[in-house]
Structure formats: structure tokens, C-alpha cells
Amino acid sequence: MNTQAWTIHNPSGSRRVVVTKELPGQRWLEILIAADCRVEVSPSTDILGTDEIAAAIGTRCEGAIGQLTEAWKEALFSALAVAGGRAYSNYAVGFNNIDLDAATRHGIPVGNTPGVLTETTAEMAVALTFAAARRVVEADRFLRQGRYKGWLPTLFIGEMLQGKTIGIIGAGRIGYAYARMMVEGHKMNVIYYDIHPNPVLEDFVAAYGRFLESRGETPVACRRARDVAEVLQTADAVSLHVVLDESTHHLINADSLALMKPQAILVNASRGPVIDEAALVDHCRKNPDFRVGLDVFENEPQLAPGLEELPNAVVVPHIASASTWSRQGMAILAASNVAAMLMGYPAWNRPDISAFLGDAPPKAAPSILNAEALGVPLYTNGGAE
């Protein structure tokens, strides 16, 4: 049980909001204080359990901001509702840690933080791709261990990706941004699979291909695969950008890994359980030229046995969204969701949330996942509709 005292801001505020982790920046806090909230923040860096969060909610709590690492299920939404709760926001765009039906049953609007993680996450996927391809972490460790004795023709030979084929599984906003970075920066062809076609991606690559051709360069191409297997078989590097649900759990397993090229690269900056980590460790051991870059893990914070010893794996601790702009933006959106619901504002009903990061944000909640189910009014230029 965490025994550290929670940090209290604006102790005279009439509305009590608990925040389960310290958040970056100050504007998120200013938003809640402007909504007359007493804000109580956990200083602990440990993942709080359900009992600890329920104890923090107590007998009176109007709102909460929680983390992707916490299980916001029936027990917590029941506790929040009994305490008078009227708003919860995840400090994340993903919400597979949330029982949205339970929140709706208890009348709790649930927010998330979309629109500020796209480029940041895509950049990390690019970084992992090239760190794996060019064996950056292996070479760094080798050098720091004092083993470098001079240049050698065979020292840490990796894979060049310029002009090769990148595979995207999940061509939503982040997958699209990643594809653009790889196409524009490295002239890669794209093969993608998504349950929905992405004509914007296809049109962009086609237009860029025509531009390259007009300059006398080899054009690039993009096509949607018939299934995941075709992407795995075709691509020189594959990046995963899917949501986590029953259909994507262990999407990458022993059978699917066997479809990939022996020198392929696999990158995951989406959700850890998309990959069967034990199968991945076994595949990497048997195929030393196969490389992987991981930002997320199946059973965070634990790694599958053997993963950390693999020389052909680049692993980082779930930091894909860890840029100053993105993390502060997430905090602003999470606070705006809670403050807006407590002040009786409507829910924003359009994909562009950039207005909330400016100096004159709309009087609305940026993203309420169950707004329709709860009958939360939607925002118009004049207020609610």
C-alpha cells in the first residue's frame, strides 16, 4: 500500500479531483483550478492498485484522472459514482484499461486524449525501426564495454531500408504518419493492411511517386494487402499500429513470425499483447538476423524471459509519446475533459482538438468516449446542440 501523502493544490476548491500520477506542465493544473477544483495528486511512481485508488476517491470526489496502467473497471467506477463523481479521463488515447460499459452504467463520462500523440508515436516507431536495422543499441553497448579495437569491414553490418518495402498493420492516424515519414524520408514502398482502406495514404504515396518520377527518380508505390499475412510475407520491415482487442491479441505469434523474411524488422509501438512475446523471443533466438524494436510489452513492466538478453532486440520503456509537447498536451486534454464535465459543458464532436491547446479553448470537453450513450450534449459554435 502506498503511504506517501498526496499533493494538494487549491485546497479550498469546491470540487475534489484526484489525479493518480504527477502530470507534466502546469496548464492542466490551471484548468482544473479555474474550474474551482481541489486537486489531489499521487506522488508515487508505482502503479496504484484498485484499492489504493478507491481509498483516494473516498466519500466525496467529483472527478478523476487516471492512467493506462490502471484497471478502471466496475469497482472504481462504482466507488467514484457513490462519491458523487461526474467525470473521469484517461491520461492516454487508448482505453483498453477501461470498462466503458461499467462507467456508462454508473453515469460517469469517460474522456481520453487523442490527437496529440500521432507524430510523436510515429517518430518513435521510426527511431526503433532504424535502431534495429542499423544495430545501434548493440554497437553502443559494444563500444561502452571497451571492446572496440578499430574499424572492421564486418563490424555490426545492418540493413539499409532506402527504397525497400515498409509494412503497416493498422493504417489509422499513427500508421499513416509513420508511413509518410518512411516514404518521404527514405523512398520506401508501402504495403498495408487495415480493415478499412486508407485512400488518403494511397493518394499521398501515388502523388509523391509522380513527383519523384518527374525528377527522374524511381517512384514509390502503395497498396492495401488482402490480409496481415501478405504484409508479413512481403515487407522488409513491419510496424504495428493496431488497437488491442480480441482480434489483435497475439496477432503476431509463432506462425505469423514464420511468414516474415529472415532479415526482416518488426516494430511495435501500439500495445504489448499484440505480440506473443514468448514466441518472439524464440523466433529471435533461432533467427539472429531478424530484428525487433519494442516500446510496449505483453505484461508490462515485466519482459518475457530472455527478451532483455537478446542482442537483436531494441527495447525501450513505453516512451513513444514521451515528447514535451505530447505529454503536456495529453495532460491539458485530460484536465479539460474533467473540468468541462464538472462545469456542465458539452462534448466536442470533431476530430481536430488543436483548439484546446491554444489560448482560447472552446468551452467543451475535448473527447468523451461515451457521450452519446450518456446523452451528453454536443458542441456547436454557440455552445451545445
pLDDT band at 1 (very low <50, low <70, confident <90, very high): very low
Global pTM reads 0.89
d(CA 135, CA 140) in angstroms, rounded, equals 9
Residues 6+ apart with CB under 8 A from 335: 23, 27, 28, 29, 31, 32, 65, 89
User: Are 353 and 115 within 8 A, CB to CB?
Assistant: yes
Rounded-to-integer distance, Cα 329 and Cα 321, Å: 10
Question: pLDDT (tens digit, 9 = 90+) per residue, 87-113?
Answer: 999 999 989 899 999 999 999 999 999
Q: Minimal CA–CA distance to 173: which of 118, 116, 246, 235? A: 118
126 Cβ contact partners less than 8 Å away, ≥ 6 residues apart = 178, 181, 182, 185
pLDDT at 4: 75
Q: Is the pLDDT reported for residue 3 higher than 60? A: no
Mean pLDDT score, 334-349: 97
Q: Is the pLDDT of residue 278 over 60?
A: yes
Q: How far is residue 338's CA from residue 23's CA, in Å, rounded to a whole number?
A: 14
Q: Which domains does the chain have, with CATH numbers?
A: 7-116+323-384 (3.40.50.720), 119-315 (3.40.50.720)
Would you state the cell numbers that stand for residue 287, as one nine-digit string?
Answer: 533467427
- Residue 24: HSE in the Cβ half-sphere, 13 Å Cα cutoff: 11
Provide the annotated active-site residues.
271, 300, 318
Q: Where are the alpha helices (DSSP H) in 83-227?
A: 100-105, 118-133, 136-144, 173-186, 199-214
User: Confidence class of residue 84 from pLDDT cuts 50, 70 and 90?
Assistant: very high
